Every structure is written in C-alpha cells, then in structure tokens.
C-alpha cells in the first residue's frame, strides 16, 4: 500500500490565458490531496472521502455498473471518477501493467472546484502512488507530464500544464505552452485566501473564454495583455518587489473580469482585501466562484475577509516548496 500527496496552488498571474500559450505563474500552497493505492486482483474500487454528505463516503466499484448510492449528484461523482480513472490509465501505461487492479482512497483539505487546483493535486498524487505501488518510481516531471494528460482528457482537450506542473514540483513555477520551469528564490509570500464556499466548472469556464475570445477581438487582445502582465509580474516576483506583484495581481483580476470569469462573491472578497490595504487581490483558477488570493503582510485582509458576507472561510496560505511526495 502506498500513499502519495500533492499540493494545491494559487495563481499569482495568468490563469485562462495560459490555455492559449501565454505564460502563467502559479505557486503551490500548504494544502494537500492524499491518494492511497493498494493493488488488488482486478478492477478498480474508489473511495472518494471528500465527496460526502453527512459522513457517507462514496464507494464506487468501476468494475461493476453500480452507481454509488449516496446523496451526491451523478455529475460530481462522474467528474471525480474521471480524474481517478484517467490517472489510473496513466499509471498502468507507465508501469506496463494494463490490467492492474487497485483499491484507491482519495482525501485531502483542498476545497473542490474552487480554483486551488484540487483536480491537479488528485491526478498528480494518484499517478505517483499507483506507479509506486506497481514498483515504478517516476520523477516529478514525469508525473507532471502524465497528470497533464489527465486534466487534458477530463477538461475535454482544454487544459494547460500549469496546475499539474506546479502541484508536482511545488514552489512557484512558470509555464508557457510546453515550457515548464521552476522559479528559484521565491520562499516567502504573504498569501491570504478567501473562499466563498462555492465552485466553478473549470471546463465550462474555459469554454466560455474560448467563445468570447473567438467572437471579440478585444477579448483576444485581453488574453494577450494578460501574457504581457505575467512577464512583468514574473520579473517583479524574482526581484522581490512584492508591491509591484500586488499591483499587477489587481490588474490581472480586472482582465479576468473582462473575460467574464469573475462573480459577485469573488469581486466582493477582492474588494474587501483591497479595502484592508492588501497589496493586491485577484480570483484564482477558473473563477465563477471559489477562491481569491490576496497579498498582505498584516492580518488586516484576513480579518476583513472573515467579516465579508459571502466569504465562508479565510486563511493564510504558506508557500509549499515541496511538490508530490510519498507519505
């Protein structure tokens, strides 16, 4: 039996535009998905601990046609199963064991569908654990490459390498198309996360941006502008100019809003953080609902968020320099 874990992430800059080849800079935070894998005779049995209502756990035997008998929507179960099944396929292929069967348990403290990359963390940890259980030790870059295939498949062909590379490597990273690099020297960012308790559908939001970009030249220009902003943001980050990083995060939120992926609750959390003198604040991830990330050395933004209607949870997020690991 093997357990692997992988971290969540926030985007300092560049989500959505990264899908079209612009650069992005996500960074890993200290919240993790854990996936435990044990080989079994045949079939795959999956226990998704976090897809629970009132303590019932979803147990789903993908070798049967049974539906799990719980009060969670079919689409939520199907999506969760999609990530796990694709990750298992990747692990079987990497180990040359196409028939391998598994018992799998997924758990963690990353809110689902909230822009913190729970999908990538689950895919990364599942591939690392399942290959290790089959006796194959993949390095973090190989895990990232395979986990990207998982997101690509589940998000219907529209995904970047950013989330999966960041979760596999840890720390701050830069992704532009197939070019994935770690950014050295970033070890202390005063990150604060606000969570509205909701979620966005990553696939649908990405498709929505594709539509406006194809339809309006100004939206295509907005995507290009995000790319320019990310290049400046990366420079400021490397130079340790956190004030400039914050300013550019604010502009990035505005440009994401222009692409239609913000929401009332995300905007009100962003403004609560700014009113409390955060250096910057923006939504993180696909948007629609979920999380914002702010930059604030004081406790003020955290306190302001905790009193903001619509903000269900606010917490400090320490940068996690460690990526995927065996527990």
Ligand X SMILES: C[C@@](O)(CCOP(=O)(O)O)CC(=O)O
Ligand Y SMILES: Nc1ncnc2c1ncn2[C@@H]1O[C@H](COP(=O)(O)OP(=O)(O)O)[C@@H](O)[C@H]1O
In the shown chain, the binding pattern of residues 178 to 207 toward Mg ion, with x for contact by CB under 5 A and - for none, equals ------------------------x-----
Contact positions with Mg ion (CB under 5 A) in 106-125: 119
Please answer whether residues 25 and 34 qualify as being in contact, where contact means their C-beta atoms are separated by less than 8 angstroms: no
Interface residue with ligand X among 29, 58, 162, 276 (CB under 6 A) is 162
* Listed ranges 12-20, 109-117, 172-180, 209-217: which one lies at the site for ligand Y (CB under 6 A): 109-117
Q: Does 108 bind ligand Y (CB under 6 A)?
A: yes
- Total chain residues near ligand X (CB under 6 A): 17
Question: Using CB distances below 5 to 8 A depending on partner kind, what does residue 85 bind out of ligand Y, Mg ion, ligand X, none?
Answer: none
Q: Does 317 bind ligand Y (CB under 6 A)?
A: no
Interface residue with ligand Y among 14, 23, 80, 289 (CB under 6 A) is 80
Q: Does 202 bind ligand X (CB under 6 A)?
A: yes
Q: Does 119 bind ligand X (CB under 6 A)?
A: yes
Interface residue with ligand X among 3, 4, 6, 15 (CB under 6 A) is 15
What is the 3-state secondary structure of the chain? Answer: CEEEEEEEEEEEECCCHHHHCCCEEEEEEEEEEEEEEEEECCCEEEEEEEEEECCEEEEEECCCCCCCCCCCCHHHHHHHHHHHHHHHHHHHHHHCCCCCEEEEEEEECCCCCCCCCHHHHHHHHHHHHHHHHCCCCCCHHHHHHHHHHHHHHHCCCCCCCHHHHHHHHCCEEEEECCEEEEECCCCCCCEEEEECCCCCCHHHHHHHHHHHHHHCHHHHHHHHHHHHHHHHHHHHHHHCCHHHHHHHHHHHHHHHHHCCCCCHHHHHHHHHHHHCCCCEEEECCCCCCCEEEEECCCCHHHHHHHCCCCCCEEEEECECCCCCEEC
The number of beta carbons lying within 10 Å of the beta carbon of residue 231 is 15
Minimum distance from CB of 16 to ligand X (Å)?
A: 5
Minimum distance from CB of 300 to ligand Y (Å)?
A: 26
Q: Does 286 bind ligand X (CB under 6 A)?
A: yes
Please answer whether residues 218 and 14 qualify as being in contact, where contact means their C-beta atoms are separated by less than 8 angstroms: no
In the shown chain, the binding pattern of residues 223 to 252 toward ligand X, with x for contact by CB under 6 A and - for none, equals ------------------------------
Q: Does 114 bind ligand Y (CB under 6 A)?
A: yes
Instruction: Clarify whether 54 is annotated catalytic.
Output: no
Q: Does 86 bind ligand X (CB under 6 A)?
A: no
Question: Using CB distances below 5 to 8 A depending on partner kind, what does residue 51 bind out of Mg ion, ligand Y, ligand X, none?
Answer: ligand Y
Minimum distance from CB of 312 to ligand Y (Å)?
A: 15
Question: Using CB distances below 5 to 8 A depending on partner kind, what does residue 79 bind out of ligand Y, Mg ion, ligand X, none?
Answer: ligand Y
Q: Does 159 bind ligand X (CB under 6 A)?
A: yes
Residues annotated catalytic, as ranges: 163
């Amino acid at each position: 039996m093997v357990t692997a874990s992988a971290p969540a992430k926030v985007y300092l800059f560049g989500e959505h535009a990264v899908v079209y080849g612009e650069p992005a800079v996500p960074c890993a935070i200290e919240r993790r998905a854990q996936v435990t894998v044990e080989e079994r005779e045949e079939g795959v049995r999956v226990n998704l601990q976090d897809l629970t209502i009132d303590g019932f756990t979803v147990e789903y035997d993908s070798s049967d046609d049974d539906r799990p008998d719980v009060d969670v929507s079919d689409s939520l179960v199907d999506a969760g199963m999609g990530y796990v099944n694709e990750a298992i396929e990747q692990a079987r292929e990497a180990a040359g064991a196409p028939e391998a069967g598994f018992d799998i348990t997924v758990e963690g403290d990353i809110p689902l569908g909230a822009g913190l990359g729970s999908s990538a963390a689950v895919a990364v940890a599942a591939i690392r654990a399942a290959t290790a259980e089959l006796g194959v030790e993949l390095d973090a870059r190989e895990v990232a490459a395979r986990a990207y295939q998982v997101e690509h498949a589940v998000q219907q062909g529209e995904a970047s390498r950013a989330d999966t590379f960041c979760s596999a490597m840890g720390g701050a990273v830069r992704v532009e198309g197939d070019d994935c690099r770690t950014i050295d020297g970033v070890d202390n960012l005063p990150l604060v996360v606000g969570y509205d308790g909701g979620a966005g559908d990553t696939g649908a939001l990405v498709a929505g941006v594709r539509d406006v970009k194809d339809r309006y030249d100004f939206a295509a220009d907005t995507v290009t502008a995000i790319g320019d902003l990310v290049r400046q943001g990366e420079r400021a980050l490397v130079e340790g100019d956190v004030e400039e990083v914050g300013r550019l995060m604010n502009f990035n939120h505005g440009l994401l809003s222009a692409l239609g992926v913000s929401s009332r609750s995300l905007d009100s959390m962003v403004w609560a953080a700014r009113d409390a003198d955060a250096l910057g604040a923006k939504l993180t991830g696909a948007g629609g609902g979920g999380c914002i990330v702010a930059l604030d050395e004081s406790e003020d933004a955290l306190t302001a968020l905790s009193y903001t209607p619509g903000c269900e949870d606010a917490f400090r997020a320490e940068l996690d320099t460690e990526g995927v690991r065996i527990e």
